[in-house]
Structure 1
Amino acid sequence: MTHHPEILRADPWAGRHLESRALLRQAQAGRLVRISHGRYVDAESWNAMDGLERHRLRTLAVASTAATDNVFSHHAAAALWRIPLLGDWPDRVDVTGPVRSGGRSSEQIRRHPSAAIPAEQIGTTDGVRLTSPARTVVDLARVLPFPEAVVAIDAACRIGRAAPKALLAEVRDLSCAARGRRGGRRAADAAAFATDQSESVWESVSRVTIRRLGFPDPVLQQEFRWDDRTSYRTDFWWPEYGVVGEFDGLVKYGSGEGDEARSALVREKIREDRLRTLSSGFVRWTASDVRDPLRLARLLGAAGLPRPTRRLAYANDFSG
């Protein structure tokens, strides 16, 4: 669990707002960062955070002063549930509620009018009321581009060391129920394509790109047995063509020049050599290749996948 820095709160009842002015001066000097009205954090800690953790802290700051009947949603709920996303995190915090409850969007809150949210689609974490993980990613899928929507759903449903935050069947049910609303069909399409087997954001984006390029859909997390004691699991596998695909996030190799980093490189080299002997083709790519779909198409084709007959007919809309 990531440790958050203390949120410093300006006291509006301090004599002549002396405390508020002191915090403002520190922010002007670059020692603090203002993350919402009257809420500040240490600048060094803030600069060390990624986008998800920054938005999570911003949401907690807004929640500390917002009305208690607010239900935080969309990006705010994703940050609180720690669901990673592909695109940039917004500056404003999302809140969803019935139109009759009143209230408007503001400098720090982006309000989404909605019918009353069913109780089963509301959860609580960090003392904050928010949409459930399944409802959160369906809401996001209604407004995000298709690749980012798939990333959100995959991440929420991911089966890994920890239990998934949402069940894929639940997400698909909610997305189908939203078909009559704005963006509902987009959400249903993303949910239909999503999987609980993708292990990272860029594996999800890779899978979207592979589909859009016209290549066959791969099998995910295929296990290959080398001997009685050793087996390897691959990111992507095309059994009909005997091709193994691996997204290279580079993190698994370690960092620096120490023995641990060198050992990781050696282990990965042995793993790749063995997988090459167990397959007819092997291809590895990085995020920069996914951002350039034509380059990824060349890599996949060179590994032995049939080249698509249709031209690349979509814009490269991947951000992050």
Structure 2
Amino acid sequence: MIRQDLVGKLVGRGKAAEQVCVKLSSTRFIARTEWVKLKPHEQQFLRCWAAGAAAHTSILVGRAAATAHGMWVLPRTFEVEMANPKGRVPRHSQRPSGVTYRRIVVPGMDITALGQNDEVKLTTPVRTAVDIARWHGAKEGVVAMDSLFCGKLDEFKGGVHTELEETIHRLSGNRGIEQAREAFGQLSMLSESPYETLVRLLLRRFGVVVQEQMRIGNYRVDLLWGQLIIEVDGSVKFEQDAQRVAQQHIHRENQLREAGYWIIRITPTEVWADEEKVLLRIIEAKRRSEKIGPASVEALPAW
């Protein structure tokens, strides 16, 4: 469900009094019948949005800002992160339930707004990605930074990269900035999902730098290590007309195998459950790929 439709399900106090609702913030509610239909990530989005819309002086930051922007966020659940741009932190008794406050000063250049009436104030996507790396580590930071490039035309990616670099430079001396620099050094402009990013980082820790979004014949593959194709699949790929999509995948894989490549598929569930097991699966698949002889079709950068 798109974010605008989700926001449309929120109601104020008046409407909330007319039905059984879940309270998401002091001013935003949702009918319980609607709430239970939502997926966990949709519920998390509404928690963040509702908190931001109810705030008078505070803004969404970190994971909460990323969720509101539609960026990739690694944890499935988390407390909503907020901050007063002037660096003030409210007393614990004044903080909404489920909200964590960051004691940071945020300049106006790092603040933007979302909503039809700009009702949700939050950090810009670039500042958000840098803060996630500072507060939650380089791995989460890379995931957030990679998401800034996904879906953007090549001519705009350079500007995003420069803005990230400049923001990190501006925040020199702030806590966690080294983690942001580390994340910046490992980002990719080619990743198409957070799970591709996680698998790429997993292999990097093993000392393997894979090729991304390479073209083999008429097909583009997620990750390529020699003659091993690593496909990171999500359920979204199969939600629409599953039978037709499955047949297309079979045909695609047959073509790639006949071109001299070995294929391994990794699911998000596997990545979440046990990264080391995923790594061992990939290493074993790499060994097998080395026994099938040279490829008949060269892998080239995506068109």
SS at match of 1:189: helix
The reply to whether residue 248 of structure 1 matches residue 233 of structure 2 is yes
- The letter of the residue matching 2:224 is W
Which residue of 1 is the match for residue 101 of structure 2?
A: 111
The reply to whether residue 95 of structure 1 matches residue 83 of structure 2 is yes
The reply to whether residue 223 of structure 1 matches residue 215 of structure 2 is yes
The reply to whether residue 275 of structure 1 matches residue 256 of structure 2 is yes
**RMSD, aligned CA:** 2.8
Q: Given the alignment, which residue of 50, 60, 82 partners 1:72?
A: 60
How many Å apart are 1:300 and its aligned residue? 1.9
Q: Return the TM-score normalized by structure 1.
A: 0.75
Call closer, same or farther: CA 1:253–1:161 in 2, change over 3 Å: farther
- Of stretches 271-280 and 167-176 in structure 1, the one that deviates more from structure 2 is 167-176
How many Å apart are 1:249 and its aligned residue? 1.9
The separation in 2 between residues aligned to 1:65 and 1:216, in whole angstroms, is: 46
Q: Given the alignment, which residue of 266, 281, 300 partners 2:282?
A: 300
The reply to whether residue 43 of structure 1 matches residue 32 of structure 2 is yes
SS at match of 2:144: helix
- The letter of the residue matching 2:275 is P
Call closer, same or farther: CA 1:161–1:172 in 2, change over 3 Å: closer
SS at match of 2:191: coil
SS at match of 2:131: helix
Pairs within 5 Å for 1:94-173: 94-99=82-87, 101=88, 103-104=90-91, 106-108=95-97, 109-115=99-105, 117-126=106-115, 127=118, 128-160=120-152, 167-173=160-166
Q: Return the TM-score normalized by structure 2.
A: 0.79
The separation in 1 between residues aligned to 2:235 and 2:13, in whole angstroms, is: 43
The separation in 2 between residues aligned to 1:147 and 1:158, in whole angstroms, is: 17
How many Å apart are 1:77 and its aligned residue? 1.5
- The letter of the residue matching 1:220 is E
Alignment: residue pair count: 276
Deviations 1:72-95 (A, max 9, x none): 221232122111312033343412
Question: Residue 89 of structure 2 contacts residue 101 of structure 2 at CA under 8 Å; is this kept in 1?
Answer: no
Stretches of structure 2 that go unaligned for 5 or more consecutive residues are 289-303
How many Å apart are 1:118 and its aligned residue? 3.0
- The letter of the residue matching 1:87 is P
Call closer, same or farther: CA 1:181–1:300 in 2, change over 3 Å: same
The separation in 1 between residues aligned to 2:12 and 2:207, in whole angstroms, is: 53
The separation in 1 between residues aligned to 2:79 and 2:267, in whole angstroms, is: 29
SS at match of 1:222: strand
Question: Residue 178 of structure 1 contacts residue 185 of structure 1 at CA under 8 Å; is this kept in 2?
Answer: no
How many Å apart are 1:286 and its aligned residue? 1.8
Computing the radius of gyration over CA atoms, which structure comes out larger, 1 or 2? 1
How many Å apart are 1:199 and its aligned residue? 0.6
The separation in 1 between residues aligned to 2:77 and 2:270, in whole angstroms, is: 23
Q: Given the alignment, which residue of 258, 263, 269 partners 2:244?
A: 263
Moved over 4 A (4+): 160-164
SS at match of 2:36: helix
How many Å apart are 1:280 and its aligned residue? 4.0
The separation in 2 between residues aligned to 1:185 and 1:93, in whole angstroms, is: 21
Which residue of 2 is the match for residue 174 of structure 1?
A: 167
Deviations 1:126-174 (A, max 9, x none): 112221100011111111133322211111222358987x813322332
Stretches of structure 1 that go unaligned for 5 or more consecutive residues are 12-18, 226-230, 307-320
Which residue of 1 is the match for residue 223 of structure 2?
A: 236
Call closer, same or farther: CA 1:129–1:287 in 2, change over 3 Å: closer
The separation in 1 between residues aligned to 2:253 and 2:45, in whole angstroms, is: 38
Which residue of 2 is the match for residue 310 of structure 1?
A: none
Call closer, same or farther: CA 1:50–1:135 in 2, change over 3 Å: farther
Q: Given the alignment, which residue of 204, 211, 233 partners 1:211?
A: 204
Question: Residue 63 of structure 2 contacts residue 80 of structure 2 at CA under 8 Å; is this kept in 1?
Answer: no
SS at match of 1:90: coil
How many Å apart are 1:35 and its aligned residue? 0.8
Call closer, same or farther: CA 1:60–1:304 in 2, change over 3 Å: closer
Name the structure with the higher helix share.
2
The separation in 2 between residues aligned to 1:198 and 1:96, in whole angstroms, is: 33
Question: Residue 75 of structure 1 contacts residue 94 of structure 1 at CA under 8 Å; is this kept in 2?
Answer: no
The separation in 2 between residues aligned to 1:57 and 1:176, in whole angstroms, is: 33
